[in-house]
Structure formats: C-alpha cells, structure tokens
Amino acid sequence: QQPVQSPQAVILREGEDAVINCSSSKALYSVHWYRQKHGEAPVFLMILLKGGEQKGHDKISASFNEKKQQSSLYLTASQLSYSGTYFCGTEGVGNTPLVFGKGTRLSVIA
C-alpha cells in the first residue's frame, strides 16, 4: 500500500528549514528516502530500519517511528541544490518490495 507524503509541495528561501512526512497504514520494516531532480533518475539519500533510529546526511536527516509507521525527513539550512522531488519508499514486514509515495516537490529560491 502506497505511503502518504505531506506536504505535496513546499517553497523555501535559502537557509530555511523544512520537514517532509511519510506515513503508512501497514507495519514497516524500513523507510527509504530518495531525491529526484527534473529529468533525472531518483538518487538515494538514506535508509532507516525499524528500531526508531535517526540518521543524518550533511544537513539532511531523518527519523523513523515504527510504532506510528511514520518517517520524517528534515532539511536544515536549505541550499539551492536541495530543490527536487523527495520520495519516501516503504518496505513492509516480510521482505516486500519497496513502495514509493507520490512525492513532495521542494523548491529552494534565493
């Protein structure tokens, strides 16, 4: 079942912060985050496994609350290069294939 992402779109000025949320109605084993720039393939950002972990990647970090079946992606001090569409992908319990949400379009302006 497809995870739900929010917001659908967000516009930031350089240096501002943003949070993108991803929720599922099914029990999750892992959550992936990818970024896709216009006309390009999705690029991996990070994977979070069940256990409620939080990960960081430069100024981009994420958390995973397995009890709530939710994950959030945090972008701090945004840069122009952060612009793109962010997708969360969820893996259910039992080694199921990755299912992606509809994406959140992030635009960072100067």
Partner 1 sequence: DAGVTQSPTHLIKTRGQHVTLRCSPISGHKSVSWYQQVLGQGPQFIFQYYEKEERGRGNFPDRFSARQFPNYSSELNVNALLLGDSALYLCASSLGGTGSEKLFFGSGTQLSVL
Which tokens belong to 57?
């990647």
Out of 13, 67, 81, 95, name the contact with partner 1 by CB under 8 A: 95
Which tokens belong to 90?
């969820």
**Cα atoms in the 13 Å half-sphere on the side-chain side of 82:** 29
Q: Is residue 100 at the binding interface for partner 1, with CB under 8 A as the rule?
A: yes
Out of 84, 91, 106, 108, name the contact with partner 1 by CB under 8 A: 91
* Residues contacting partner 1: total by CB under 8 A: 25
Query: Please, which residue, 12 or 28, has the CB nearer to partner 1?
Result: 28
Distance CA 95, CA 107 (A): 34
In b/e form, how buried is each residue of 17-35, taking b as 16+ CB within 10 angstroms? ebebbbbbeeebebbbbbb
Out of 27, 43, 77, 80, name the contact with partner 1 by CB under 8 A: 43
Which tokens belong to 41?
């393939």
Query: Please, which residue, 16 or 61, has the CB nearer to partner 1?
Result: 61
Contact positions toward partner 1, by CB under 8 A?
2, 29-30, 32, 34, 40-44, 47, 49, 87, 89, 91-92, 95-103
